[in-house]
Amino acid sequence: MPFDPVSPLNLVALEEQVLNDWRERDVFAESMRLRADAPEWVFYEGPPTANGKPGIHHAWARLFKDIYPRFHTMRGELVRRQGGWDCHGLPVEVEVEKELGFSGKEQIEAFGIEEFNARCRESVQRYVGDFAALTERIGMWLDMDDAYWTMSPKFVESVWWVFKLLWDKGDIYEGFKVVPYCGRCGTALSSHELGQPGAYRDLTEESAFVRFPLVDSDLDLLIWTTTPWTLLSNVGVAIGPSVEYVRVRGRDGRRDLVIAANRVVDVLGEDAEILGPISVEELDGRHYERPFDDVPLDDESQIASAWRVVVADFVTVEDGSGLVHLAPAFGEIDREVGLAA
């Protein structure tokens, strides 16, 4: 078919012309009607949270989401492209807290959880029109009329239905996982929530070097930690597999120290006396004295597996002593190392 000349070039007007043509001819719906009996390629949108105006990052995400359904549609497959709205999570609650002037969980409870939840439900619907307009304007094909809402009883029940299927198959188990916790919000945090603007701040805090005496030895492990409040839960010390360790003479008659060779000067000073190397193999598996015995042990046999040196790839010598204090109850990496050991 002949095309009208594009001169003078006006990209905005050209885009509007294409969008109007799609709208008048109902092209998106027609693409599905023509493929009603074709093999189906399923696409459910990873839904945005519409409690704020869409930004450029939403445009990028939607463009990427549009590429693959278009590709499979052009291959002759049926792609329904159901849209969706994410209605849960701390970003929704924090936004409503800001509107109400709240600064903590106690104020939410005093305000009334039912009323607060109602405000959250209203909040996530506030900018749906803006998202729908953006979706159409950038040329993304998406079924917004039959979009799913994660706060709807139907959706919630579908999640429980899937959970029940997994339970019946024996795929559900109870375990432990170390996750960040927000004292202000009174809840655990997901990686997505920690990725929100303002979640991280650069702070300067005190770190600590602590001696852990090796059992049946005249040596102390010099460990370093940026979280000294977790020392009560210490159960291990991690060393690097390729780090060179040395024995350094203790000052003022104190026991000699084990430290990474290239951390001696920064930590102990230029006058520190290195007595010789200590291999990773010599340290691996060695037990040290429990730093605190305030918490009684349920089983003395636990001593055999805890308070010992383990080798871990994450240990670096960019700072600290090259020996890292492990508290699996407070760190995800610490727990992974503990389970592997």
**DSSP of 173-212, one letter per residue?**
--------EETTTTEE--HHHHTSTTS--------EEEEE
Orientation of helix 113-123 relative to helix 90-100, angle to 10° = 110
Q: Could you give the count of Cα atoms lying within 13 Å of 228 in the half-sphere of its Cβ?
A: 8
Q: Which CATH class is domain 208-291+303-340?
A: alpha beta
Residues whose CB falls within 8 Å of the CB of residue 200, separated by 6 or more in sequence, listed in order = 194
pLDDT at position 75 over 90: yes
State whether CATH 3.40.50.620 applies to domain 11-87+124-175.
yes
As a whole number, mean pLDDT of residues 117-128 equals 92
Higher pLDDT, 80 or 195: 80
Q: Using DSSP, how many helices (H) and how many strands (E) does the chain show?
A: 12, 12
**Lowest-confidence pick of 110-114, 200-204, 250-254, 319-323:** 200-204
pLDDT at position 83 over 70: yes
Q: Which pLDDT score, from 0 to 100, does residue 48 have?
A: 87
pLDDT digits (tens, 9 = 90+) for 146-181: 899 999 999 999 999 999 999 999 999 998 888 888
pLDDT digits (tens, 9 = 90+) for 218-268: 999 999 998 898 998 899 999 999 999 999 999 888 999 999 999 999 999
What is the greatest pairwise CA distance in the chain?
95
CA distance 114 to 199: 27
Q: Which pLDDT score, from 0 to 100, does residue 140 have?
A: 94
Q: How many residues does the chain have?
A: 341
Q: Which pLDDT score, from 0 to 100, does residue 302 have?
A: 67
Orientation of helix 128-137 relative to helix 56-74, angle to 10° = 50
Q: Which pLDDT score, from 0 to 100, does residue 97 have?
A: 92
pLDDT-derived band at 120 (thresholds 50, 70, 90) equals very high
Please name the residue that has the structure tokens 């204090």: 325
pLDDT-derived band at 26 (thresholds 50, 70, 90) equals very high
SS3 state of residue 132: helix
pLDDT digits (tens, 9 = 90+) for 38-58: 999 998 888 888 888 898 989
Average pLDDT along the chain:
89
**Lowest-confidence pick of 127-131, 188-192, 250-254, 293-297:** 293-297
Domains of the chain, residue spans: 11-87+124-175, 208-291+303-340
Q: Which pLDDT score, from 0 to 100, does residue 276 have?
A: 94
Q: What percent of the chain has pLDDT over 90?
A: 60
CA distance 326 to 341: 12
pLDDT digits (tens, 9 = 90+) for 285-311: 999 998 887 777 777 676 677 899 999
CA distance 267 to 260: 10
CA distance 242 to 253: 31
